[in-house]
Amino acid sequence: MLTIYTVSLALLKPLNDINGLFLTQFINSEIFQKEIWSKSIHVAFPKKINLGDIGKLKIIYPISEEQTKIADFLSAIDKQIETVSSKIQKTEKYKKGLLQQMFV
């Protein structure tokens, strides 16, 4: 049996006038994900996007100071989400433990 593995990788590097954290947040945004989806080859498995099409993706960005403010704000929200998610998981685990003790 012959097994073939292929790996493709595109490195996205921010230009001098794009904040890296802002770019990360933008890449994760619904707008950019829809843009990627529209350029993806859907008959391929796994789905892929050609390198030339990656270069054609639209990246909208404000001036540097605004990028920093946006990136910092969204990063703070991400941290809050992580904290709340962690608390929810711990609370669910605690509840499960209580239920096991109650119904033994």
Q: Give me the residue spans of the domains in the chain.
A: 20-102
Cβ atoms within 10 Å of 47's Cβ, excluding its own: 11
* pTM of this structure: 0.66
pLDDT one-digit tens code per residue, 67-101: 999 999 999 999 999 999 999 999 999 999 999 99
Average pLDDT of the chain to the nearest whole number: 86
Report which of 28, 14, 12, 11 is spatially closest to residue 74, judged by C-alpha positions. 28
CA distance 29 to 55: 18
pLDDT one-digit tens code per residue, 15-30: 778 898 998 899 899 9
Integer Rg of the chain from CA: 21
